[in-house]
Amino acid sequence: MATAHLPTRPRVPAAAEAAIPPSNIRGNARRRPGFRRDQLTGWGMIAPAAVLLLAFIFIPAILGFGLAFTNARLISPRPVEFVGVDNFARLFTDPTFYRALLNVAYFTVVIVPVQSGLALVMALLINKKFRGVNFFRTVYFLPVVTSMVVVSLLWLFMYRKDGLVNEILSAVSFGLIDGPDWLGDPNTAMPAIIILSIWQAAGFHMIIWLAGLQGISGELYEAAQLDGTSRWQQFRYVTWPGLFHTRSLVLVTITIQALGLFDQISVMTQGGPMDSTTTIIYEAVQSGYRQQETSYASAISLVFFVLVLIVSAVQRYLTREKD
Amino acid sequence: MKNQLLLKNAGTMLVRVLFAVVAAFPIVFMLVSSLKPDQQIFGDMSSLAAFLPVGNISFDNYGAVFDRVPAARFLLNSVGVSAVTVILGIFVNSLCAFALSRMQVRGKKIVFTAILATLIVPFQTLALPLVWWVNQLPYFELNGFSLEFSKGWLDTYQVQIIPFIANAFSIYLFHQYFESIPKELDEAARIDGAGWFKIYRQVVMPLAGPATATVAILTFLPAWNSYLWPLMVVQSEELRPVMIGIQYFFQLNVSWGEVMAYASLITVPVVVLFIAFQRSFVNSIASSGVKG
Amino acid sequence: MNKKLTKVLATSIAAVALTSTLAACGKGSASSNEGSGEIALWTHNAGNPDELAAVQKIVDSYNGSQDKVKIKVQAFPQDSYNDSVVSAAAAGNLPCIVDIDGPNVPNWAWAGYLAPLELDTDLSKHLPSTVAEWDGQPYAVGYYDVALAMMARASDLEAAGVRVATMEQPWTKEEFQDALTKLKALGKWEHPLDLGTAGTGEWLPYAYSPFLQSFGGDLVNRDGFQSAEGALNGDEAVEWANWFRDLADQGFMARKSGKDSTQDFLNNKSAIVYTGSWAADKAQAALGDDLVVMPPVDLGEGPKIGGASWQWGVTSGCSNTEAAMDYLSYSLKPENIAAVAKATGAIPASEEAAAQTPSFAEGGANRIFMDFSREYAVMRPETPAYPFIATEYGKAVQDILNGADPKSTLDSAVKAIDANIKSNGGYKN
């Protein structure tokens, strides 16, 4: 293959990218003779993914959203009728829905900074090459691959009044702290879910951070080391700016995952005690499957979609690349 | 100075170990419990014995697993379905991300935004309409020399694979990673007369090792863990994936020891895969400079 | 590097080829091929080798007895069975014969998925709780039922000075309170009683609505099934709710018990466990003669337990209903029912079958469960609204247990149930 002249290990610092204004290339693009062919190639490359997403997400989502304006049931002999915004009217007068919104907001506000921060710390801890790095990487990733059934069984026990968590708390505090029944108390149920969630998902985002860290040129670190910078300075002036793209990726995905909280709730608390852990998606699944009110569940989903869209837009605006 | 560094390194190592302990204990619990009889699992639960292989230890649970579940078949199904999803996913998503990131395609901003919007739709809310929808899709198979058409994808392998190939998250991840690969490389290659596909194949993808590994792992996980979807669309036992198998143990009397044994069995392939793929986090563009 | 990529591409192409091969040979066989005289049967007992083998044996002997049709068994795990079948129904892909959890039958019948049964068998000889009716017609019939009971160690009760409850003389509410107080005083258990409060889903109405009914309340007014007003939020219901919550408030039971109450009981973490006949053999094996099986508490209207377990029905879309009905009639022979009962340890559906099942025959070790079933079983309301009522009730139980105001919680459950019934046109045909 005629690629010998291509640099297989480019050492171009990421910062150099900005030095050559990409607009030069873009400016010429339209006038280039191959413009049309490029368009075709480009669309050809986008097409497989785009068609699949269209077929398996957009179309069913639109079908689902359409149901929100009907009275469709999961199983029913009654004809499906258009009912306008009835489902939404019912949703907006349902106190459980507002409780779910509040819970999800609480969860997200805590999870996003804490989990992404911890995941970054974990990634930094195992980014360098040292003896046993593979072992640590694997172990840090274990919670992500552990079956939810096992996780829930174990944590349900640990969170009991006489469970391991409280025993540790009591031992550490020399008997001063008498822990609560974590999942049975409306005040502690959500914090308990938060801890469990961070424990389980931090490894997932650690992987994304790790990929980002690997994208930062080693030369920058070498240069920084020559300048005799401290570890903190290296992080502040090399690592952190180098993670710009990864940051937005992690932020967006953690936020969306947090807002869609469901699995842990479904196996650990079923929304209780007293709705203190119910979430929007949990309510949607509960109505759509268990209570067979498909159209109402669709309405919840549609509202959820719009909410996340707004949150994401705001987030993107706040973290946009400032010139 | 040297002592200070040594102390610092020891401190870092201590933190690493601390994190490792917190991360590993459920797996330890799972492995240990898989060797115990049911009653003892619950008896040990409130003490540290839950994490120690003490008491009545045996491999009985593992033997019993195979009497209850066609575990080998399920493992094979899951390996096949996950592997195909991962491979096709890497190809389709990286190709799309490549065009979006590095080519001047008209309308790509809208396309990218639309793709990102699909991240927001949680699968649980999509599942019901999707079941109905895949059952309307045409389906063809090669029968000798003639192509036969029929309707409905229910109860097949492809219904477990094709809807999950394209993935906004993977596209996003590839896109972000491609953005950090200098674009002059493309220009250089173009001057040498390389086409876009060649650039994708020979310039960009070889540099995208960490992103590819990440996408591979993160596509594999949901494919391996898929539960709700096969539950709804696969009726034949011979097509079921591993996660459905867990349900086999939840009878009126739950066999917890067997649950743990089965869960251990189906966790192993994921860990092996992870160990295999995480090497590419080292063989990447940047790592050479980070050593030490 | 390039080689690596070529390899990836080659693998991709291989993968595509593999998918199409998988697709070609991967069309499952669960949906029946009715043209060829094959009838599909879906059952809930994947992962339960004994019961599955018993069902398979009946099917095999039926297939051998005639050559017109072949029944083909497809087993699903029971915990997720309902989700599997409902999505198949929504996609229009049901088999001829299905297994259904009893209380869901009216909902299915109303939705038009089931055909009324026309069997040669005399269903009046069956335990009433094994026949599911709706609109005056039978839609499903089971081989067995299960029964709830209270289990304890005779030695513990004796140590606390508590008498063993019997069918002739069940514990009254006051006696129960007294028993728990004495057991708690022994100091052996953090919570002497385990009612399985960590249970979810169908367990909640199955286990706790009988207490409500024993107080004189109910899930819904059974006269026409049009409203829950008064039944689920009347004085009796509020009394039930207060009693139930007091059990936790007094420290007699945990607001959220362990994940497996039977195991906790056997590990001596509780004195009295409320569980089903399915746990009897295991408890018997562990405790021997020390085990006592007692009826649930009489809270006013006599002890009550929930009736109905898994039952068989024929779908309305079946193209060979006659053959499906023929198979069901065949399968209900006493010896078949007895075989399933032996395999599962569940209560055989008819007296004739019980006579062929040693542990359930007169004087058998598990006979008491059959008596419980006959004497105490209350069907969960036979209305298509049941799945909805069940979830509302389940949530109310959990909220009340966690300290919600009983009256207002029950009121809002009633409101939701009534609204649901109304929005479904009263679930009338």
Non-local CB neighbours of A63 within 8 Å, separated by 6+ positions: B129, B132, B133
Check if A234 contacts B (Cβ < 8 Å). no
Hey, are the CB atoms on C388 and A183 less than 8 Å from each other? no
**C30/C122 same-domain check:** yes
**C27/C86 same-domain check:** yes
Nearest CA in chain B to A16: B182
Question: C222 pLDDT exceeds 90?
Answer: yes
Q: Environment class of residue C49 by beta-carbon count within 10 Å: exposed (0-12), middle (13-18) or buried (19+)?
A: middle
Q: Give which of A46, A209, A8, A321 is closest to B208, Cα–Cα.
A: A8
Cis peptide before A273 (omega within 30 of 0): yes
CATH of the domain at C402: 3.40.190.10
Q: Give which of C85, A220, A242 is closest to B176, Cα–Cα.
A: A242
**C302/C320 same-domain check:** no
> At residue C273, what is the residue type?
V
Best residue in C3, C8, C11 for a mutation probing chain B (most B CBs within 10 Å): C8
Chain segment B166-222, per-residue pLDDT in tens:
999 999 989 988 888 888 888 888 888 888 889 998 888 988 888 898 899 889 988
**C167/C119 same-domain check:** no
**C298/C320 same-domain check:** no
Chain segment C117-160, per-residue pLDDT in tens:
999 888 888 988 999 999 899 999 999 999 999 999 999 999 99
Q: What is the pLDDT of residue A21?
A: 43
Question: Of A156, A181, A290, which is closest to C255 when you measure between CB atoms?
Answer: A181
Question: B32 pLDDT exceeds 70?
Answer: yes
What's the mean per-residue pLDDT of chain C?
89
Question: Of A75, A162, A272, which is closest to C86 when you measure between CB atoms?
Answer: A75
pLDDT interval class at A23 (50, 70, 90): very low
Hey, are the CB atoms on C19 and B161 less than 8 Å from each other? yes
What three-state secondary structure class fits A36? Answer: helix
> At residue A270, what is the residue type?
Q
**C265/C367 same-domain check:** no
Which is more confidently placed, C7 or A19?
C7
H-helix segments, chain A: 16-19, 23-29, 35-53, 59-67, 86-92, 95-125, 133-145, 148-158, 164-172, 189-214, 218-226, 231-234, 240-242, 244-259, 263-268, 280-285, 294-318
Check if C260 contacts B (Cβ < 8 Å). yes
Question: Of B68, B91, B201, which is closest to C47 when you measure between CB atoms?
Answer: B68
Q: What value does the mean pLDDT take over residues C330-354?
A: 92
pLDDT interval class at C15 (50, 70, 90): low
Percent of chain B scoring above 70 in pLDDT: 92
What's the mean per-residue pLDDT of chain A?
82
Best residue in A139, A292, A309 for a mutation probing chain B (most B CBs within 10 Å): A139
Six-digit token string for C51: 């019961």
| Under 8 Å between Cβ of A308 and B120 | yes
Six-digit token string for A222: 């070498």
Six-digit token string for C195: 């009612």
**C283/C265 same-domain check:** yes
Check if A186 contacts C (Cβ < 8 Å). yes
Hey, are the CB atoms on C255 and A291 less than 8 Å from each other? no
> At residue A133, what is the residue type?
V
Largest CA distance in chain C: 84
The lowest-confidence range among B257-266, B267-276, C320-329 is B267-276
Q: Which CATH class is domain A94-318?
A: mainly alpha
Q: What value does the mean pLDDT take over residues C33-62?
A: 87
Estimate the crossing angle of helix A59-67 against helix B123-134, to 10 degrees: 100
How far apart CA C426 and CA C429 sit, in angstroms, is 9
Six-digit token string for B282: 């080292």
Here the ipTM equals 0.86
Distance from the first to the final alpha carbon of chain C: 69
Residues of B in contact with A8 (CB under 8 A): 206
Q: What is the pLDDT of residue C82?
A: 87
> At residue A258, what is the residue type?
A
| Under 8 Å between Cβ of C370 and C360 | yes
Six-digit token string for A143: 């919670």
φ, ψ dihedrals at C405, nearest 5° = -65, 120
Q: Environment class of residue A62 by beta-carbon count within 10 Å: exposed (0-12), middle (13-18) or buried (19+)?
A: exposed
Q: What is the pLDDT of residue A10?
A: 39
Check if A22 contacts B (Cβ < 8 Å). yes
Q: What is the pLDDT of residue A15?
A: 40
Check if A308 contacts C (Cβ < 8 Å). no
Check if C36 contacts A (Cβ < 8 Å). no
How far apart CA A57 and CA A61 sit, in angstroms, is 6
Non-local CB neighbours of A247 within 8 Å, separated by 6+ positions: A212, A319
Question: C21 pLDDT exceeds 80?
Answer: no
**C127/C163 same-domain check:** no
Q: What is the pLDDT of residue C116?
A: 95
Q: Which residues is C312 bridged to in the sheet?
A: C99, C141
Best residue in B124, B212, B227 for a mutation probing chain A (most A CBs within 10 Å): B124
| Under 8 Å between Cβ of B274 and B217 | yes
How far apart CA A77 and CA C110 sit, in angstroms, is 7
Written as one string, the DSSP assignment of A216-264 is S-HHHHHHHHHTT--HHHHIIIIIHHHTHHHHHHHHHHHHHHHHT--HH
Q: What is the pLDDT of residue C10?
A: 56
Best residue in A188, A274, A275, A282 for a mutation probing chain C (most C CBs within 10 Å): A274
pLDDT interval class at C80 (50, 70, 90): confident
Chain segment A87-132, per-residue pLDDT in tens:
999 999 988 999 999 999 999 999 999 999 999 999 998 887 778 8
Question: Of C90, C190, C259, which is closest to A75 when you measure between CB atoms?
Answer: C90
Q: Environment class of residue A36 by beta-carbon count within 10 Å: exposed (0-12), middle (13-18) or buried (19+)?
A: exposed
- Please tell me what DSSP assigns to residue C226: -
Check if C107 contacts A (Cβ < 8 Å). yes
pLDDT interval class at B141 (50, 70, 90): low
Question: A210 pLDDT exceeds 90?
Answer: no
Query: Distance from C62 to chain A by nearest Cα, in Å?
Result: 32
Check if C263 contacts A (Cβ < 8 Å). no
Q: What value does the mean pLDDT take over residues A213-218?
A: 78
Q: What is the pLDDT of residue A1?
A: 35
How far apart CA B156 and CA B151 sit, in angstroms, is 12
Non-local CB neighbours of B173 within 8 Å, separated by 6+ positions: A208, A211, A249, B97, B211, B214, B215, B218
Nearest CA in chain B to A297: B125
Nearest CA in chain B to A161: B46
Query: Distance from C320 to chain B by nearest Cα, in Å?
Result: 21
Torsion angle of the four alpha carbons B172, B176, B182, B186, in this order, in degrees rounded to the nearest 10: 0
Chain segment C228-281, per-residue pLDDT in tens:
999 999 999 999 999 999 999 999 999 888 888 998 999 999 999 999 999 998
Q: What is the pLDDT of residue B79?
A: 93
Question: Of A77, A272, A292, which is closest to C402 when you measure between CB atoms?
Answer: A272
pLDDT interval class at C375 (50, 70, 90): very high
What three-state secondary structure class fits A298? Answer: helix
Q: What value does the mean pLDDT take over residues A132-158?
A: 83
How far apart CA A23 and CA A29 sit, in angstroms, is 10
Chain segment B75-106, per-residue pLDDT in tens:
999 999 999 999 999 999 999 999 999 888 88
Q: What is the pLDDT of residue B276?
A: 81
Q: In which residue are the tokens 């049931």 written?
A: A73
> At residue C313, what is the residue type?
G
Largest CA distance in chain B: 78
Written as one string, the DSSP assignment of C117-141 is P--SS-GGGB-GGGEEEETTEEEEE
Instruction: Map out the domains of chain A as residue ranges.
Output: 94-318
> At residue A66, what is the residue type?
G
Nearest CA in chain B to C77: B248
Domain limits for position C411: 148-306+385-427
Hey, are the CB atoms on C262 and B253 less than 8 Å from each other? yes
Non-local CB neighbours of B219 within 8 Å, separated by 6+ positions: B85, B86, B89, B90, B164, B167, B170
Six-digit token string for C23: 């697709």
| Under 8 Å between Cβ of B35 and B61 | yes
Question: B234 pLDDT exceeds 80?
Answer: yes
Chain segment A216-269, per-residue pLDDT in tens:
877 788 888 888 888 888 888 888 888 888 888 888 889 988 998 888 888 888
Question: B116 pLDDT exceeds 80?
Answer: yes
Best residue in C6, C19, C33, C278 for a mutation probing chain B (most B CBs within 10 Å): C19
Query: Could you tell me the CA-to-CA distances from B154 to B233, C30, C71, C180 in Å, in that order?
Result: 5, 10, 21, 53
| Under 8 Å between Cβ of A147 and A237 | no
Check if A272 contacts C (Cβ < 8 Å). yes
Residues of A in contact with C2 (CB under 8 A): 1, 3
Q: In which residue are the tokens 């310039």 written?
A: B203
**C64/C128 same-domain check:** yes
Non-local CB neighbours of C351 within 8 Å, separated by 6+ positions: C125
Q: What is the pLDDT of residue A22?
A: 44
Hey, are the CB atoms on A10 and B185 less than 8 Å from each other? yes
Q: What is the pLDDT of residue A9?
A: 37
Please give the tally of structural domains in chain C.
2
Hey, are the CB atoms on A50 and B183 less than 8 Å from each other? no
Cβ contacts below 8 Å, chain A against chain B, sum to 310
Query: Distance from A187 to chain B by nearest Cα, in Å?
Result: 23
Six-digit token string for B119: 């991240």
Q: What DSSP element (H or E) covers B140? A: strand B138-143
Q: What DSSP element (H or E) covers C348? A: strand C347-348
**C370/C405 same-domain check:** no
Hey, are the CB atoms on A157 and C259 less than 8 Å from each other? yes
The lowest-confidence range among A59-68, B40-49, C237-246, C410-419 is B40-49
**Chains touching B by CB (3 or more pairs below 8 Å):** A, C
Check if A156 contacts B (Cβ < 8 Å). no
What three-state secondary structure class fits C291? Answer: strand
H-helix segments, C349-385: 351-355, 367-376
Q: Give which of A48, A29, A246 is closest to B96, Cα–Cα.
A: A48
Query: Could you tell me the CA-to-CA distances from C427 to B49, C100, C108, C135 in Å, in that order?
Result: 54, 20, 12, 11
Q: Considering only residues 93 to 132 of chain C, which have any Cβ-Cβ distance to chain B shorter than 8 Å?
A: 93
